[in-house]
Structure 1
Amino acid sequence: MVEDHQTAEAPPASSGSGAGASGRPPLTTRLTRRKPVERVVDETGQGDDGRLHRSMGMWQLTAISIGATLGTGIFVVLGEAVPDAGPAVVLSFVIAGVTALFSALAYAELAGMIPASGSAYSYSYATMGELLAWVCGWCLMLTYGVSVAAVAVGWSDYIDKLLVLTTGLSLPAELAGPLGEGGIVNLPAAAVVLLAMVALLGGVRESAWANLVMVVIKIGVLALFVGIGVTAVQDQNFAPFLPLGMGGVSAAGATLFFSYIGFDAASTAGEEAKRPQRDLPRAIMLSMVIVTALYCLVAVVAVGVLPWDRFEGTDASLATILTMVTGTPVWSLVFTLGALIAIASVVLVVLYGQTRILFAMSRDGLVPRVFSTVDAKGTPRANTVIVTAFIAFLAALVPLGHLADATSIGTLFAFGMVNVAVLVLRRIRPELQRGFRVPLSPLVPLLGVASCAYLMLSMGISTWVAFGSWLVLGLVVYFGYSMRRSRLEPGNSTHTAALRE
């Protein structure tokens, strides 16, 4: 069956009338060639010089998704969302969570069926063809790479805050920001990326356990907030519950949706999971449940302690609220440390995801072979070092500006493609075994596509310009390099060898 699909979807060079002068198929055929699901699965774990090792269980996979999702957002996001929704901000979290759930369900079905490191890129390759898969992978490069740099800059800010709280001193401006933003180099931002690299080079098992420990700590910090804050909740702070109506709730929900981005990170670990068909869907769904429950609990306690109309224009962070409850500023230090751990976890997991997506694209020939070379421990060492160097450079020296904003569009585009992939595979490959199935299909995947499209269209022109520029660059790379080096390109030695396998 595998060979039949490969022959049909990646035909060898022919001198027939359908081929170009060079003996290659027409351009449209090359752009829409698909990589069969069976072949994606057969190749999982295979690099150029070795294999990735299956070493992660369900809890480590769950921690990867939580680690990428539960970052600094919840520590500061209430100050932005509560003025829009009032006490009903908890409904906004639920709405945002349900919106994210549409795509999470799609990821759960495909991650169990196609446990590949490429995540949405691999799913698109198996369903919509090489060009759209490339665009999806290119968007993921933007999402993962630039977001790591942006999060690392946030880590630098918290390091500065920690120094002020403990010593009264702050970082020299020259060492805390890039040129154009009052500095010369952001050393702490580069440092946290390099620390994440050291953890990843130590092995995926070790870095997964390190992330699990950090996830437990940051969940503990939020649980501490709920446990202490609930003692000061006042019923009158919930009335009126909808002071700005459902319009305000919806507006806050759109803002809060981006607090859920990251749940898909476990899908990039598909080739290093011990039991991917069983554990990946469970990890994705469990992480969504845990994150949504934490967000809602924190929101209820926060607005129960502090009247909603006092959030706007004030420092209404969780640390400030606990300081009000307890009368001691020690919580600013506790939550600064919690935020540092939260950000370090995000940097580690998202950097990991970026290397695995490039691993999958390299194995397909779309990016250089060096990114799919693994060592004896199953670590893509060169890949990790190259990606880290690039991201550390971005974090330390480049003002990210609208490029960082464009990461949200890149993520939403990938989410939309995953929902479409579910619909396509249900139609063209209904016989494939699915350990998890999206309920109420095609309604739920269609809602996933619609919600992603709505949020993308709600973004500003400058963000779209940055995103469009990134896509144009990606198309130049694809037509100038990747298309001709694809393993599905007739005439390539790797293509011929693949057909014999």
Structure 2
Amino acid sequence: MIRSEEDEMGLELIEPSRRSSSLFAYEKVVVPDRHEKWPLISEAGWVKAPKPPRVPFQQRRNVKLLGTIQLVGITFFAVTGGPFGFEETVRAGGPVLMLVGLLLYPILWSIPLAMMTAELSCMIPESGGHVLWVYRAFGPFWSFLTGFFAFASSVLDNALYPALFVDYLSAIFYEGNHSISYGWSVVIKISLVVLVTIINILGIDIVGTAAIILGVAVLSPFFAMIVLGLPHLDFGWTEQPAPSAINWGKFITLLLWNTSGFDVAGTCAAEVRNPGRSYPRALAASVILILAAYGLPTIIGVSVIPNYKLWQDGTYMIAAKLIGGHSLKVWMGISEVISALGLLLTRLCTNSRILYGMALVEQVPSVFSWLHPRFATPWTSVLLTSLCTLLLLGFSSYSLAEADMLFYALSTVLKFSALVQLRFTEPDAFRPFRIPVDPRVLAALTVIPIGLCISMIYFASDHSQAIGLIGAVVAIFTYMLKELVSQFGTQAEEVVQYRMMRVQKNIDKMQQRIDSVIEKEFKAPLEHFGQAFQKASSEHPVLHIDEHDEEVTESQEENKLLDHPPRYGIVIQDGFEDSSQASQKAKLHPLATMTKSSA
């Protein structure tokens, strides 16, 4: 329970508590006369109200927020960008084990990721995603580790796509006999990164629209392959024996890598229109879309190429040629190039918001929270993310993918832990979408995806495990150095007080922005409904029947009903002098008695 008092100045004083950061109840959101304070720790150890912070994204008129369809496009590329890269899964475990994994992993892995993202993004609709989720649940240290791991994973991931872009171009122009020269490949990679950086600075709505267009372009040849491949459908591959030596580490890593990334969509929550409605719908549609995008083309592909040993990167192009000829193969190759472009475009967008979220809670310098004065995009974070991507362009794709998934697994353990922690510490927080299970059941269910993360770390190569260990040590020492520099020369007690003050202030700033989103998303429609109800009531007054009025006969009342049929029913109320007072009470009724359950 949060204790409150009043000091000699008449200001409300609130005892510091993590629960003071909880979202307010729905009734308090719709009530206009709120008196909550935004606290800071005073010299006496209590907290007082500072000046409320501005809302970075939502209060800017020039911001065009993402709609549900645009969010689906960004999520699609954040997770997969098409079936490309899934071929190695068939080779690692065989087609039967691939199909079993494809049916099983969405239930054990993809759906939990999507539901976690939907709940926490709706509860904390602020750009920064899992950095802010963990900050609110566990505080600055674990949030810094999450941000460090997530950002490291993101730049390693981003560095893959320019290399894939060049490889796919080489496959189209040279058909495997030659490749683009090293000099030209460097020029193409740098130009590609510069292009997507400019698009990201111009606005997230442009990125969302581009993601939809590119997504359609990527999936169109697969749709043609499925339609043309139906006559070739053959399930004889199900009778083939599994590989004698299954590379479980590679198989699990590839499946997880191809079905992960839903949580990345939460990093741009402040730039999504109606997040409480958009996220559940977009993520549910994305899970279905991605499952179909992987499963259907692969089943057609193994029908024409049943030998799993022949499956490797580029097998979809060979299957397309066997099914639809050279033209479908070229179309598939162009789709691969577009996929690499879309992946880099959307991943740069979502990953730069990780750095932006860290800046909001003082984990990195505040310069990375700067927004472009015209486009309202975190341009400094976009530029640094692009720079880190350029520095890693020379590394091999496989090394980047392994290290990427290792850091992703470490950060995902903390994300699921934050989901459970917030259910227990803030049970009354307003969640437009809530996973429909009890907190204890939720804690038990998260054991499965956390176990998959641990298995991914365990099965990783020694090289990747060494990179992960070094990264964890660097993250811890970086955090310690940051704290020592910022608090050098102060006493231990002052350090604790200062840290409590800064954490509480950051949480309250976050809360102010969250309340603004909730008020805009839920209060405005209710006010609009109330105004419409008032206007309708004034045009069609509610009939007042006074049982003590002897001058009004029953026939006269029936005539009134025929001449002016009531739109919202008849109110029989004693004690009102005229019908205008009854109508006024009817107009005030919806908002006056609106409750969380009825809404």
- Report the TM range for the smaller structure's normalisation: 0.7 to 0.9
Residue number among 69, 80, 85 corresponding to 1:59 in the alignment? 69
Residue number among 106, 120, 125 corresponding to 2:130 in the alignment? 120
Q: 1:14 to 1:403 in 2, by over 3 A?
A: farther
- Write out per-residue CA displacement over residues 189-230 of structure 1, whole angstroms, 9 at most, x where no aligned residue: 222211111211221211211111111211222222212222
Match of 2:403?
A: 406
Residue number among 148, 157, 161 corresponding to 2:171 in the alignment? 161
User: Which AA in structure 2 matches 1:70?
Assistant: T
Distance 1:63 1:130 in 2: 32
Distance 2:499 2:229 in 1: 66
Larger RCO (CA within 8 A; separation ≥ 6) = 1
**1:435 corresponds to 2:432:** yes
Q: 1:497 to 1:384 in 2, by over 3 A?
A: same
**1:92 corresponds to 2:93:** no
Match of 1:103?
A: 113
Residue number among 410, 414, 417 corresponding to 2:414 in the alignment? 417
Q: 1:246 to 1:391 in 2, by over 3 A?
A: closer
- Write out per-residue CA displacement over residues 1-43 of structure 1, whole angstroms, 9 at most, x where no aligned residue: 8998883359848799xxxxxxxxxxxxxxxxxxxxxx9xx97
Q: 1:481 to 1:219 in 2, by over 3 A?
A: same
Q: Equivalent residues in 2 for 1:247-266 (5 A)?
A: 252=251, 254-266=253-265
| Percent of matched pairs sharing the same residue | 18
Q: 1:458 to 1:309 in 2, by over 3 A?
A: closer
Match of 1:360?
A: 357
Q: Which runs of 5+ in 2 are unaligned?
A: 5-11, 19-38, 488-494, 513-599
Q: Equivalent residues in 2 for 1:310-329 (5 A)?
A: 311=310, 317-326=315-324, 328-329=325-326
Match of 1:426?
A: 423
User: Which AA in structure 1 matches 2:101?
Assistant: S
Q: Secondary structure at the match of 1:442?
A: helix
Distance 1:280 1:253 in 2: 27
- How much does 1:491 deviate? 7.9
- How much does 1:256 deviate? 1.5
Match of 1:490?
A: 498
Q: 1:279 to 1:225 in 2, by over 3 A?
A: same
Match of 2:480?
A: 479
Match of 2:525?
A: none
Whether the 8 Å contact between 1:87 and 1:303 is mirrored in structure 2 is no
Q: Secondary structure at the match of 2:100?
A: helix
Distance 2:223 2:196 in 1: 26
User: Which AA in structure 2 matches 1:415?
Assistant: T
Query: Which moves more between the two structures, 246-255 or 256-265?
Result: 246-255
User: Which AA in structure 2 matches 1:91?
Assistant: V
Query: Which moves more between the two structures, 298-307 or 206-215?
Result: 298-307
Distance 2:62 2:149 in 1: 24
Distance 1:220 1:322 in 2: 12
Whether the 8 Å contact between 2:139 and 2:503 is mirrored in structure 1 is no
User: Which AA in structure 2 matches 1:203?
Assistant: G
Match of 2:560?
A: none
Distance 1:95 1:427 in 2: 29
- Write out per-residue CA displacement over residues 288-327 of structure 1, whole angstroms, 9 at most, x where no aligned residue: 1210122111222112222244535x7761110121223x
User: Which AA in structure 2 matches 1:200?
Assistant: N
Match of 1:34?
A: none
Match of 1:296?
A: 295
- Per the normalisation by structure 1, the TM-score is 0.81
Q: Which runs of 5+ in 1 are unaligned?
A: 17-38, 177-185
Distance 1:475 1:344 in 2: 34
Instruction: Tell me the matched-pair count.
Output: 461
Distance 2:101 2:251 in 1: 6
- How much does 1:93 deviate? 0.9
- How much does 1:479 deviate? 1.9
Distance 2:42 2:89 in 1: 57
Match of 1:221?
A: 221
Distance 1:229 1:279 in 2: 35
Query: Which moves more between the two structures, 478-487 or 95-104?
Result: 478-487
Distance 2:456 2:14 in 1: 36
Distance 1:250 1:153 in 2: 24
Distance 2:305 2:398 in 1: 33
User: Which AA in structure 2 matches 1:490?
Assistant: Y
- Write out per-residue CA displacement over residues 416-475 of structure 1, whole angstroms, 9 at most, x where no aligned residue: 222111211111111112222224423322222222222222212210111222222222
Query: Which moves more between the two structures, 244-253 or 357-366?
Result: 244-253
- Write out per-residue CA displacement over residues 76-134 of structure 1, whole angstroms, 9 at most, x where no aligned residue: 42244245233342222122222322222222211111112211111100111111110
- Write out per-residue CA displacement over residues 255-278 of structure 1, whole angstroms, 9 at most, x where no aligned residue: 322101222232111010110122
Match of 2:385?
A: 387
- Per the normalisation by structure 2, the TM-score is 0.69
User: Which AA in structure 2 matches 1:123?
Assistant: W
Give the RMSD, CA atoms, in angstroms.
3.6
**1:69 corresponds to 2:58:** no
Q: 1:258 to 1:301 in 2, by over 3 A?
A: same
Distance 1:211 1:417 in 2: 29
